[in-house]
Amino acid sequence: MFKAELSDSSILKTSFDAISSIVDEVQIQTDSEGFRLDALDRSHITFVHLELKSSLFDEFICDEPEKINIDTDELMKVLKRSKANDRVLMSLDEGNLILTFVGEATRTFKIRLIDIEYDSPAPPSLDYPTEFEIPFTLLKDSIQDMDIFSDKITLMVDQENFYASAEGEFGDANIEYLHGEKIDTKAKSI
């Protein structure tokens, strides 16, 4: 049995909004510790990893591990229908992911699970010399700003700033965020 309740629908909405722009189908793996997914885009360039711990949820029950194969576009169509103050209830029933939004009204949606052969990709083994933390919305906004001109984005960080830039045929974009204003955590080299 899988059942989860989340008081803030925006957590799922923003997470899967980003994921659905990269991959078409995902396998969400659930167990008593929470749920996670690993996916590669079709060109095998972009690796996506999402992990939501059970402690993030108001209620999380998963008696046995489950694999939820779902079309990300269909999931986003439903998640976009949630309102800011809606509670989200998630469960599984006979080949469906059931999402219920509880707010002004109680609205229930059943999304058919897809039948896919899926081997969860392993995270690439890469050595990154720098580690930094920024708010998700800041990263998302930066990527959307860069997307105006290019599919390629350059991210840079130093002790003072986080930079995002893109160059395209029709224009360029540059963004600079100063640590301490929008970014609370200092960058650190590892």
CATH number of 2-112: 3.10.150.10
Question: pLDDT tens digits for 118-143?
Answer: 677 777 777 777 777 777 778 888 88
Q: Which comes out higher in pLDDT, residue 57 or 9?
A: 57
Summarised one tens digit per residue, pLDDT across range 152-161 is: 899 888 878 8
Q: Are strands 59-62 and 47-53 parallel, antiparallel or unpaired?
A: unpaired
**Can you give the pLDDT at residue 183?**
54
Give every CB contact of residue 64 below 8 A, 6+ residues apart in sequence: 1, 31
Q: Which amino acid is at 78?
A: V
Mean pLDDT of the chain: 87
**Angle in degrees, 0-180, between the axes of helices 136-146 and 9-20, rounded to the nearest 10:** 30
What is the per-residue pLDDT across 48-88, written as a single tens digit (0 to 9) for each?
889 999 999 999 999 999 999 999 999 999 999 999 889 99
Task: State how far the Cα of 97 lies from the Cα of 78, in Å rounded to an integer.
Answer: 11
pTM of the prediction? 0.70
Q: Where in the chain is the domain with CATH 3.10.150.10?
A: 2-112
Residue closest to 18 by CA, chosen among 143, 113, 164: 143
Q: Report yes or no: 65 and 28 within 8 Å, Cβ to Cβ.
A: no
